[in-house]
């Protein structure tokens, strides 16, 4: 074989792995091999991690796990002989207790995890649920393979009716990661914020937790990192990580030296309830925070600039009637390496919506991370929730836990108008799936009660797919009032990463000819 032909084939193969292209042509002008653009194939393995739900003895937790049904005519995967088995289950992790002293994490494994799964999903298109009551429920480590892997999601929903951590706590179980940000945490008096670290792997992970306040990085009392044993979970009280005075607005940065972890913050306020604080989307110059309820009585924006430059941000509210600049909250300056906060009273004026942050000077874009603390109710009957900056849906995302009533879907199109398909799955105990198509006008938020499966029994999942138009940001609010308290939780809906791009090439043996 000619050296020129070999070199061209090697170069073409490398290029196709990155971008894909149509064909390879030899110097004499003849085609030697045909290379296709990357093909979106369903993923064959997904991992999820759920934190320990609560330490309260009166806590009641529901897990809902779901994989959307495959699209008709979806691209096939490998041959049957090589296909991964269809399996999705969540198992209890080892208990690791370091709530008051993170330095003791090295001997955190107190008892072996039971081998029986807490929850097992057997087929796409129908959710399954499981319950756990009391304060002893452990964190869960889960894996889905085969047809159950693409788009697999699980929500953990906990009701704590009384006590200092009372409230409705909801969280979408997370994929393991090595670098995540949590604006809107706190070490203030009256707040008990724990970061939960869950290790899905068979070897120990070591994580670092850094805290940043309005004056910059808080001095840490921990220098050696936090060891998270294999397949274990470690809850760490943020106020034990620093000797500095209590700080109302803190950004938490979790990174790993070795391994990977699922990280999420459980925030509890003595006066206004508790909820989970998920991580923000990756730092970006423009961020959108969808899912602000129209009856919010308090909204506080917290942002952090991780780079070397300060961020000058324009603040806009994207509501049902359009996009406005809130009076008294037109802008926010975020100094490099510091956390900034902005109260937005009377933000919604009865309209559900989203907050959009953009560079005040488009020529000086500075990446930021951001989150909102949202309060509903008044006086003693208040409840706390969080909204984090969320990337737009490019294809599909799911909110797993929905009931016969109490769900509100919020869709925001900050740029061009968009068309979105919303599918309510069959119920966990029975019912027929239904679908609705919604048009979201440019620069607005559409909030509505989503479709409910006909003949619903049990809970159901909501899947949101962008059909056409511009970017869409989505969130689902679940409200379960109790004893006059407007208990609620908000889950933003991120892309489910159900497919992966794989470059393809068609073999052409004619290239072997001299």
Tens digits of residue pLDDT in 380-413: 999 999 999 999 998 999 999 999 999 999 999 9
Sign, CA dihedral 377-397-302-267, equals positive
216 has pLDDT over 80: yes
Domain definitions of the chain by residue range: 3-40+503-512, 287-386
Which residues share a beta bridge with 378? 381
Assign residue 346 a region (left: φ > 0; alpha: ψ between -120 and 50; beta: otherwise). left
Distance CA 240, CA 237 (A): 6
Band (pLDDT 50/70/90 cuts) for residue 197 is very high
Contact in structure between 97 and 217 (CB atoms under 8 Å) = no
Token pair 């999942």 is found at 461
Sign, CA dihedral 436-440-441-442, equals negative
Distance CA 194, CA 171 (A): 14
With CA atoms as reference, report the closest residue to 124 among 94, 100, 150.
150
471 has pLDDT over 60: yes
Distance CA 126, CA 124 (A): 6
Residues 6+ apart with CB under 8 A from 362: none
Return the pLDDT at 387.
98
What average pLDDT is seen over the chain? 88
The CATH T-level fold of domain 287-386 is Hypothetical Protein Tm1070; Chain: A (2.60.290)
Band (pLDDT 50/70/90 cuts) for residue 509 is low
Residues 6+ apart with CB under 8 A from 469: 413, 416, 417, 418, 419, 440
Return the pLDDT at 116.
86
Band (pLDDT 50/70/90 cuts) for residue 129 is very high
Residues recorded for the chain: 514
How far apart, in Å, are the Cα atoms of 288 and each of 282, 354, 356, 397? 12, 7, 5, 16
Give mean pLDDT, residues 206-219: 97
For strands 94-95 and 232-237, give the pairing: parallel
Return the pLDDT at 237.
97
Token pair 């599909």 is found at 396
Distance CA 473, CA 457 (A): 29
Assign residue 366 a region (left: φ > 0; alpha: ψ between -120 and 50; beta: otherwise). beta
Q: How far is CA 4 from the centre of its chain?
A: 48
Band (pLDDT 50/70/90 cuts) for residue 227 is very high
Coil/strand/helix, residue 442: coil
Q: Concatenated DSSP letters for 206-228?
A: EEEEEEEETTEEPPBS--S-EEE
| Helix (H) or strand (E) run with residue 13 in it | helix 3-18
* Residue 230 DSSP code: T
Return the pLDDT at 402.
98
360 has pLDDT over 70: yes
How far apart, in Å, are the Cα atoms of 107 and each of 98, 102, 205? 9, 10, 13
Q: What are phi and psi of 4, to 5 degrees?
A: -60, -45
How far apart, in Å, are the Cα atoms of 497 and each of 88, 94, 122, 208, 465? 16, 28, 20, 27, 12
Cβ burial of 16 (10 Å; 0-12, 13-18, 19+) is buried
Return the pLDDT at 75.
45
Cβ burial of 494 (10 Å; 0-12, 13-18, 19+) is buried
* Least confident range of 103-112, 191-200, 211-220, 273-282: 103-112
103 has pLDDT over 60: no
168 has pLDDT over 60: yes
With CA atoms as reference, report the closest residue to 494 among 477, 478, 473, 479.
473
Distance CA 376, CA 295 (A): 7
Distance CA 117, CA 89 (A): 6
Whole-number percent of the chain with pLDDT over 70: 83
Quote the pTM value: 0.87
Distance CA 507, CA 33 (A): 6
Cβ burial of 405 (10 Å; 0-12, 13-18, 19+) is exposed
């Amino acid at each position: 074989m000619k050296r020129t032909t070999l070199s061209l084939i090697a170069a073409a193969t490398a290029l196709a792995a990155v971008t894909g292209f149509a064909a390879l042509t030899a110097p004499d002008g003849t085609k030697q091999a045909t290379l296709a653009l990357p093909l979106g194939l369903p993923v064959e393995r997904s991992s999820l991690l759920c934190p320990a739900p609560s330490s309260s003895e009166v806590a009641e937790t529901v897990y809902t796990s779901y994989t959307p049904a495959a699209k008709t005519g979806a691209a096939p995967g490998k041959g049957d002989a090589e296909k991964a088995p269809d399996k999705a289950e969540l198992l209890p992790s080892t208990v690791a207790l370091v709530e008051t002293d993170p330095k003791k994490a090295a001997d955190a494994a107190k008892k072996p995890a039971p081998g029986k799964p807490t929850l097992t999903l057997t087929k796409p298109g129908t959710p399954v649920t499981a319950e756990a009551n009391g304060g002893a429920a452990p964190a869960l480590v889960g894996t889905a393979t085969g047809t159950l892997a693409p788009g697999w999601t699980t929500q953990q929903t906990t009701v704590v009716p009384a006590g200092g951590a009372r409230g409705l706590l909801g969280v979408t179980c997370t994929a393991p990661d090595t670098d995540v940000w949590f604006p809107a945490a706190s070490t203030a008096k009256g707040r008990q914020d724990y970061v939960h670290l869950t290790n899905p792997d068979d070897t120990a992970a070591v994580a670092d937790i850094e805290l940043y306040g309005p004056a910059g990085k808080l001095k840490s009392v921990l220098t050696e990192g936090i060891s998270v044993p294999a397949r274990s979970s470690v809850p760490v009280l943020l106020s034990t990580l620093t000797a500095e005075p209590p700080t109302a607005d803190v950004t938490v940065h979790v990174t790993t030296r070795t391994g990977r972890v699922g990280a999420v913050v459980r925030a509890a306020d003595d006066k206004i309830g508790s909820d989970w604080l998920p991580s923000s989307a990756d730092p970006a110059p423009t961020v959108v925070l969808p899912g602000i309820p129209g009856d919010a009585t308090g909204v506080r924006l917290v942002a952090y600039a991780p780079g070397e430059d300060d961020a000058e941000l324009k603040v806009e509210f994207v509501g049902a009637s359009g996009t406005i600049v809130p009076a008294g909250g037109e802008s926010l300056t975020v100094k490099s390496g510091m956390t900034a906060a902005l109260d937005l009273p009377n933000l919604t004026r009865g309209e559900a919506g989203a907050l959009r942050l953009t560079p005040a000077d488009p020529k000086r874009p500075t990446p930021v991370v951001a989150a909102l603390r949202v309060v509903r109710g008044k006086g003693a009957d208040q409840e706390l929730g969080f909204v984090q900056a969320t990337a737009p849906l490019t294809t599909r995302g799911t909110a797993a836990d929905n009931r016969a009533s109490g769900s509100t879907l919020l869709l925001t199109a900050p740029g061009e108008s968009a068309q979105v398909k919303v599918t309510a799955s069959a119920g966990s105990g029975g019912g027929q799936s239904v679908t609705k198509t919604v048009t979201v006008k440019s620069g607005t938020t559409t909030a509505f009660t989503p479709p409910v499966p006909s003949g619903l029994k049990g809970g159901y999942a909501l899947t949101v797919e962008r059909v056409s138009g511009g970017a869409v940001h989505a969130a689902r609010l679940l409200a379960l009032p109790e004893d006059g308290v407007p208990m609620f939780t908000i889950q933003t809906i991120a892309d489910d990463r159900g497919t992966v791009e794989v470059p393809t090439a068609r073999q052409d043996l004619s290239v072997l000819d001299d």
